[in-house]
Amino acid sequence: MKKISTLMICLLLLLLSACSSGTKNDQTATEKNTESNKNLQKVTLMLDWYPNAVHSFLYVAQEKGYFKDQGLDVTIQMPADTNDPLKLVAANKIDMALSYQPQIVIARDQNIPVQSFAAIVRHPLNVLMVPSNGPIQSPKDLGSGKTIGYPSVPLDEAIVQTMVKTDGGDPTKIKMVDVGWDLIPAMATKKTDALIGGYLNHEKLLLDKEGHPMTAFSPEKYGVPDYYELVMVAGEKALKQKPEVFKKFMAAASKGQQYVQKHPEESLNILFKHEDKSSPLDKAVETKSLQILLPMMDAKDKSFGYQDPATWENISKWLYDSKVIKTNVKANDTFINM
């Protein structure tokens, strides 16, 4: 009996010792992680819109630890307004943001000191859309008094005018109708004959799904220079003062994009964890969206994010010729390759 009691006491002591050792190990691991996080450089990134398929590479880089591997602690924020990203990077309230190539040129025309440091989506997503079963077969057909719904953005007006004129139509006869951001209802209720300001990988897919099949005309096929839809932007001063931060960010982002290319379904599942409750995602739509986006994000033989100076020169010239901007903005002022 004494032997059994002694044995039980020994076993109890061993268990207590193991628990104590385990607790100490857990505490040590937690302390190391806390200390490691303290050493990371904090970076704030603002999206261009609510989280969706195009942002998958960012959330993958975050979840897989690619940012941390580069010594960065990246916080991803959603804008309250689509104009916020550029304003906040210019004011140094955030470190970087996603924005649009034409908007960078427009900002420079207004002496706002921002620059793009990476091209994310390398071709326009903003397309001219018309009902597939309607009488409009090409942009020139709009030059007969047809109505075009848009979110009252001057850039969209310039795009439509160039497309119609290039296709042989009369741009002076088109009628632009301000529908705000109610682009889908405007087309679904036949409020307008066409739509500009909607995206190939979003509004078109949603309209198709809701039983309103659309035909999309890409701006670059009708006189508008092929431009970068989405770019990474930061303040010019920040890019000069801490270039290593942006280089590290792009190294991690590139790794994230490579993972998305190889594992699209898993990457979308990671994205869905960050879904904004006010803007729920449709899995089928986001899956199709990513299929559209992946080839448009591919820089081919260049590194992910590479920017061609000619692309900046062409869009700057077109914006000036189209009277969207008032000055000849120098391409070198608008971007930098990291």
pLDDT at 12: 45
Q: Which pairing describes strands 147-150 and 194-199: parallel, antiparallel, or unpaired?
A: parallel
pLDDT at 11: 43
Q: What is the mean pLDDT of residues 277-292?
A: 96
Q: How far apart are CA 264 and CA 294, in angstroms?
A: 9
Six token digits for residue 179: 């529908």
Among 259-263, 266-270, 278-282, which stretch is predicted with the lowest mean pLDDT? 278-282
- From start to end of the chain, where are the E strands? 41-46, 72-77, 96-99, 114-121, 126-131, 147-150, 175-178, 194-199, 214-217, 230-235
Neighbouring C-beta atoms of residue 105, cutoff 10 Å: 26
Portion of the chain with pLDDT greater than 70, in percent: 89
Q: Above 70 in pLDDT, residue 329?
A: yes
- Average pLDDT of every residue of the chain: 91
Q: What is the pLDDT of residue 83?
A: 86
Residue 132 pLDDT greater than 80, yes or no:
yes
Q: How sure is the predictor about 227, in pLDDT bands with cuts at 50, 70 and 90?
A: very high
Q: Could you give the 3-state DSSP secondary structure of residue 123?
A: coil
pLDDT of residue 30: 47
Residue 331 has pLDDT above 70, yes or no: yes
In the predicted model, is pLDDT for residue 3 greater than 50?
no
CA atoms within 13 A on the CB side of 75: 10
Of 128 and 81, more confident: 128
149-170 residue pLDDT tens:
999 999 999 999 999 999 999 9
Convert the pLDDT of each residue in 29-72 to its tens digit: 445 555 556 799 999 999 999 999 999 999 999 999 999 999 99
pLDDT in tens, 74-104: 999 999 988 899 999 999 999 999 999 999 9
235 φ, ψ (degrees, to nearest 5): -70, 140
Are 134 and 216 spatial neighbours (Cβ–Cβ below 8 Å)? Answer: no
Q: What is the pLDDT of residue 10?
A: 44
The CA distance from 137 to 160, in Å, is 15
Q: Which pLDDT score, from 0 to 100, does residue 55 have? A: 98
Checking if the pLDDT of 1 tops 50, the result is no
- Higher pLDDT, residue 262 or 23: 262
In this predicted structure, what is the pLDDT of residue 21?
55
Q: What is the pLDDT of residue 194?
A: 97
